Amino acid sequence: MPDDAGDRDGAERGRWLLAQLLNWHRREGKSFWWRYFYLGEELTDAGRRDESDALGELIFERSWRDPAPNTKSTIYRFRFPPQEHRIRGGGQPHDPVTGRAAGTVFEVGEDYIDLRRGSGGPAPAPTSLVPHDFVRPTPKPESLQRLARWVLEHGIDGPGEYRAGRDLLMRRALRAGRRDGQALRGDEAAQDAARRLVLVLDESYLAIQGPPGSGKSTVGARMIVDLVAAGKRVGVTANSHKVIGELLEKTANVAQERGVQIAIGQRPGRDGLTYGEAIHLGHNAAAHDGLDDGTLNVVGGTAWLWARDDMVRSVDVLFIDEAGQMSLADAVAASSCATNLVLLGDPQQLDQPLQGTHPPGAERSALAHLLDGEPVMPDHLGLFLDGTWRLHPRICAYTSEVFYSGRLRPHPGRELLAVAGNPPLDGAGIRFIPVAHDGHSSESPEEAAAIAAAVRQLLAQGAEWTDAQGSSRPLTQDDILIITPYNAQVAELAEALPGFRIGTVDKFQGQEAPVSVYSMATSSAADAPRGMEFLYSRNRLNVATSRARCVAAVVASPHILRARCRTPRQMRLANALARLVECATT
């Protein structure tokens, strides 16, 4: 194999990439444990407060009996100062002093965390908490090893087992009765092309990039129902049970509308079903048996289910939702369960969470691998859903130019979207609201106060919202999303605007509202706690501004626009925000 990557052909690139993926999960695990011991053993409580994932300087407040029936557990509440962290409900964070779980997270708020503990043992008394959310990757590495052994014996190209996964590694265009290099879509709409192609996949994959408001999940649900109607077995996977449940529910609704009989099962996580009407699959064998005997024709589960050796060839088509956030390693590991793959997602929105450092190409998500650095899916490799049902033309113009090479357009009727009220959040389009402040890294009381004033001014005298059908109604606080990169700023905003929909960018992906306000909170690029890559992230800016159907406002310090860029990458990051200011209207 040539040493220079540019001299390798498709098969050689695929083999090299597969070799790098074999140790992907080990590298991720090594990084997790390094971080865990650093947070737990090398920092003080104050030091943990300054990190982005742990909680520091906790103070015990009170305890009470768990209200759940038939339990002897106790809930312990701890308060903490505003800070970044990634401890979530249901987790079992560790107390650095004991090195053991301090309890199960019952609830976590902006400035408090509730831990549930059983009746045995002493009451928890942590002054810090360190996340301990490592999950053993088995059977995913083993699935990659099975594929690698097959490739060693038979080669990576050509007919045989694991062909869809092998084609994905090689970025081989799908087989569906067309010439190599020919566009997948003719004069038809992208949605129609997707439904046509999924029925003629020949041990291959179909990739679909869905920008904000393009109806990606609806298209996926219709494709699944088409397959079920054709007698096919379908799997659904994603990084989270929540995303899986949402696609299963949408699929069930489409099937009901069309009168198609469908039997949906879900292998849930510890929190139970995320689609309540699914058949609960209490163990992995139930998924295999239900698909094998025909009692189920759609099953949802994470890659841990689909990568198992007893799930090989268990479905005709596996749908990978949010494939822009699933690692290529996990997608290939899960692909062994299916004859064909469908990848749904958008790498231009939130990217996959990574902890480790990987060789070039192995660090990418499944869809980013196919895009290979381009903003839009190549026509010969997949489909780009080029119409948005969400965005007003003025927001769409910015989103399309900056993130999608000018190829995204609004569907008819979006020009009717309007907010009637007091400025600066009235009308339609992009807004930039400068707020002067200095020395802030992840929280800005000045921005919180300015946003509160603008929102209250908008709602003061009976604002109205007009939808795409031209119907108007009163605009309420539930029609406004307030977004920020930092949990610390969430706390500031929640104090200034209690009862409003406020959260980080990650929380609001997939949601929409007539108005969105994005508070950047940091005073300057030099103050950014995680550097320019996080604060100026194009993915986060895209998600934050595209939650808005009509008015997308960015609130930030003017110093943010004067970033000192040292690399072309940093210039590209800063340019996305600079272009937003140029597109903004008053």
Domain shared by 141 and 124, yes or no: no
Report the 3 state secondary structure along 363-419: CCEHHHHHHCCCCCCCCCCEEECCEECCCCHHHHHHHHHHHCCCCCEECCCHHHCEE
Domain shared by 439 and 339, yes or no: no
State pTM to two decimals: 0.94
Domain shared by 57 and 182, yes or no: no
Choose one of 129, 145, 178: the last residue of a domain. Answer: 129
Q: 562 near 524, Cβ under 8 Å?
A: yes
User: How far is the C-alpha of 120 from the C-alpha of 487, rounded, in Å?
Assistant: 33
Domain shared by 468 and 570, yes or no: yes
DSSP state of 353: P
Task: Give pLDDT, residue 280.
Answer: 97
Q: Is position 244 within any domain?
A: yes
Domain shared by 114 and 145, yes or no: no
Taking 80 as the threshold, does the pLDDT of residue 3 lie above it? no
Q: Is position 575 within any domain?
A: yes
Q: Phi, psi (5° rounding) for residue 549? A: -85, -30
| Strand ranges in 220-282 using DSSP code E only, listed in sequence order | 234-237, 264-266, 279-280
User: How far is the C-alpha of 480 from the C-alpha of 159, rounded, in Å?
Assistant: 52
| CA 424 from centre of chain | 30
Q: Phi, psi (5° rounding) for residue 20? A: -75, -30
Domain shared by 157 and 267, yes or no: yes
Average pLDDT over residues 299-326: 98
**Bigger pLDDT: 1 or 312?**
312
Q: Is position 527 within any domain?
A: yes
DSSP state of 123: P
DSSP state of 351: P
Range(s) of the domain holding residue 101? 45-129
User: How far is the C-alpha of 437 from the C-alpha of 449, rounded, in Å?
Assistant: 12
10 Å CB burial of residue 57 (0-12, 13-18, 19+) is middle
Residues 69-97 have pLDDT tens digits of 888 899 999 999 988 898 988 899 999 99
Taking 80 as the threshold, does the pLDDT of residue 449 lie above it? yes
Residues 542-583 have pLDDT tens digits of 999 999 999 999 999 999 999 999 999 999 999 999 999 999
| Overall number of domains in the chain | 3
Residues 146-185 have pLDDT tens digits of 999 999 999 999 899 999 999 999 999 887 665 566 678 8
User: How far is the C-alpha of 490 from the C-alpha of 520, rounded, in Å?
Assistant: 11
Q: 95 near 112, Cβ under 8 Å?
A: no
Task: Give pLDDT, residue 270.
Answer: 84
Q: 504 near 547, Cβ under 8 Å?
A: no
